[in-house]
Structure 1
């Protein structure tokens, strides 16, 4: 089972993000579709397969302590819509240095426990950058170290012909960003589902 470590917004922000995505997918199909319980909107700090034993509860509390010690912000602004091959659309936030720090803290804590299976290595990674390929082959996840790319995944397009409709998406996202902040509430350990989704929460702690 693949496991992820993520930051998850408060319930109100989740609902507002779901409503925003629904406006976009009304005529622009994307996967996965966000939900209130499964497939939560989230910002992944790390993802992979991990050898046992690993104390997830200690890990989330250590990250919580680190966050509080550093006095990081909990509210963020969506700054842009980013396209990432092959077919992914990401929502980028301000103050990215916070997420880089948190990623490095987590990765340093667990990197020696990560492993990759033969099935993982069958994945087509031809569109990845050279460093992303190295990361994936070694750790089973492309966004590590200097290739870390903090984001909320808006979704992956099903039909490539809709790429020319980005302007309408941007208007929806820009309006959302002027009206709402992304309010982070939880650190979660989650089961990774299809398309990297936050399929189920295994452990969580409020920040």
Structure 2
């Protein structure tokens, strides 16, 4: 059986609430989907996601991943700002330091053998992907790996022209935190638009 799962960094409590409020403020006239909440779709920074066969054991893999990377008790990443991503996506983009790249490399190495490659969406329109994003998607079924990795908190999706207008006017309308702090690793079930719909396993960085 194929399971659509992801590995993510979760923000600390204050920044979880800040991301939820940021989505509300940004989409006050045009609500973004899916809605973020502490009880439902958690704000998160995806490290990797995709379709996996049932040989994958999330709790064990999360422990192995954390043991393979020396992460601090809290990982703070500088904000790059709100960005638009085709098609219709709004991201809270953050920096990509070597430690974050290393974390993704470890996650991909550990999880790639469990990918259900037959479940990749080969009909997906990748015409607006960059060359590196297309290569990433073809190899792993996920747009953002390796050189294409674009760490971000997804603020939601909307109609294309609306998304462009929201990004254009965002600096005049909302305040964006200068940095975001993450304190947990999570294995999650992917929901609408790849949302963090259900937590399967969680590990505080402090216990890694």
TM-score class, shorter-chain normalisation, is 0.7 to 0.9
| Aligned counterparts of 2:95 and 2:73: Cα–Cα separation in 1 | 13
Q: CA deviation at 1:71?
A: 4.0
Q: CA deviation at 1:95?
A: 5.1
TM-score (norm 2): 0.86
Matched, 1:176 2:176: yes
Range with greater deviation from structure 2 (16-25 or 56-65) = 56-65
Structure 1, gaps ≥5 residues long: none
Matched, 1:20 2:22: yes
Matched, 1:188 2:186: yes
Q: SS of 2:126's equivalent?
A: coil
| Aligned counterparts of 2:173 and 2:201: Cα–Cα separation in 1 | 33
Kept in 1: contact 2:87–2:160 (CA 8 A): no
Change in CA separation of 1:71 and 1:62 when aligned onto 2, cut-off 3 Å: same
Q: SS of 1:121's equivalent?
A: coil
1:188-207 matched pairs, under 5 angstroms: 188-207=186-205
Matched, 1:106 2:104: no
Range with greater deviation from structure 2 (185-194 or 163-172) = 163-172
Query: Considering only aligned residues, what root-mean-square deviation do their CA atoms show, in Å?
Result: 2.2
Kept in 1: contact 2:136–2:142 (CA 8 A): yes
1:111-126 matched pairs, under 5 angstroms: 111-117=112-118, 120-126=121-127
| Aligned counterparts of 2:204 and 2:71: Cα–Cα separation in 1 | 16
Q: SS of 1:92's equivalent?
A: strand
Q: CA deviation at 1:12?
A: 2.2
Q: CA deviation at 1:64?
A: 2.4
Q: SS of 1:31's equivalent?
A: coil
Deviations 1:136-158 (A, max 9, x none): 23322111222111111122222
Equivalent pairs counted in the alignment come to 203
Q: SS of 1:166's equivalent?
A: helix
Q: CA deviation at 1:78?
A: 1.5
